[in-house]
């Protein structure tokens, strides 16, 4: 039986903005059905790594593979770009990104927001998409809000709508960039519950989070980034229960004290 390649494989990734090196050779693997959490201080490179993974940012060195297929590149260093626009679209379609700030269209209802990408990008049948979209809104607990507009929803409801929008693309993996950091604590729990439910279903996810409890509860693997490098990684028990590096211990004690 041949082993399935990981959904996401990042090998020795380097990313700089001009002279500022943000990622200095990072490798992360997300096997199918696994949840990978990226933790670390502000400026450690977590969100940049996620954006490079989704090809929203160009990296200068290293490889990205999706289901074993490497991204094709042209150019070198700061001139390196993906070489195949169709490949980029196919990969992005299979990696749904959930942003910190929801990024919902203000002029569309919640149902229209969730339906938009499957209709315009995937060109799927409208009735089929509407049924799926309503099903995903039900799944994240806001099925009764389908005719509301984003401004009429709480932050937690908007973020759950954004998750439903990501799910409606039927992606191979979900990427979460600080999904709860813009929310009040009580609204945060609504979103945490949805993420936990998705993890329990065996969905492949990569999560950038400041919420150590969420990372401990849902992750198969936790990666601690410090100044653009992986300082430590392992299972939640290893990372949170028996941190080896001084930096990780300091980071965890600072987050507990906050």
CA distances, 204 to each of 148, 197, 258 (Å): 30, 12, 30
Q: What is the pLDDT of residue 230?
A: 97
- Of the candidates 67, 83, 86, 85, the residue with the CA atom closest to the CA atom of residue 75: 83
What phi, psi does 173 have (nearest 5°)?
-150, 155
Q: How far is CA 33 from the centre of its chain?
A: 14
Q: What is the pLDDT of residue 1?
A: 56
Tokens at 233, concatenated: 């990684």
Q: What is the pLDDT of residue 124?
A: 93
**CB 209 within 8 Å of CB 24:** no
Q: What is the pTM of this model?
A: 0.93
Distance CA 199, CA 34 (A): 8
pLDDT tens track, the chain, 258 positions: 568 899 999 999 999 999 999 999 999 999 999 999 999 999 899 999 999 999 999 999 999 999 999 999 999 998 999 999 999 999 999 999 999 888 899 999 999 999 999 999 999 999 999 999 999 999 999 999 999 999 999 999 999 999 999 999 999 999 999 999 888 888 899 999 999 999 999 999 999 999 999 999 999 999 999 999 999 999 999 999 999 999 999 999 998 765
**CB 251 within 8 Å of CB 245:** no
Output Rg (C-alpha) for the chain, integer angstroms: 18
**CB 59 within 8 Å of CB 79:** no
Distance CA 191, CA 94 (A): 22
Domains detected in the chain? 1-94+206-258 (3.40.50.300)
Q: What is the pLDDT of residue 40?
A: 96
Angle 97-250-192 from CA coordinates, rounded to 5°: 30
Distance CA 137, CA 125 (A): 18
């Amino acid at each position: 039986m041949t082993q399935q390649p990981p959904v996401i494989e990042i090998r020795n990734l380097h990313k700089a903005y001009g002279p500022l090196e943000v990622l200095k050779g990072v490798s992360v693997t997300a096997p199918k059905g696994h949840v990978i959490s990226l933790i670390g201080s502000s400026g450690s490179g977590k969100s940049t790594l996620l954006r490079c993974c989704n090809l929203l940012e160009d990296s200068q060195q290293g490889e990205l593979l999706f289901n074993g297929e490497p991204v094709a590149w042209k150019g070198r260093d700061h001139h390196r770009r993906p070489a195949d626009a169709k490949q980029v679209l196919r990969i992005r379609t299979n990696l749904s990104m959930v942003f910190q700030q929801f990024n919902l269209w203000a002029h569309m209802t919640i149902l229209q927001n969730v339906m938009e990408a499957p209709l315009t990008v995937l060109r799927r049948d409208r009735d089929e998409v509407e049924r799926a979209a309503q099903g995903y809104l039900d799944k994240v607990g806001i099925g009764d809000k389908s005719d509301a507009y984003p401004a009429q929803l709480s932050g937690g409801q908007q973020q759950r709508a954004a998750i439903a929008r990501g799910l409606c693309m039927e992606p191979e993996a979900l990427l979460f960039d600080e999904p709860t950091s813009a929310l009040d604590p009580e609204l945060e729990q609504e979103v945490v519950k949805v993420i936990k439910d998705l993890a329990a279903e065996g969905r492949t996810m990569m999560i950038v989070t400041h919420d150590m409890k969420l990372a401990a509860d849902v992750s198969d693997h936790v990666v601690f980034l410090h100044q653009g490098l992986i300082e430590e990684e392992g299972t939640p028990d290893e990372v949170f229960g028996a941190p080896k590096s001084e930096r990780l211990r300091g980071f965890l004690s600072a987050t507990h004290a906050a």
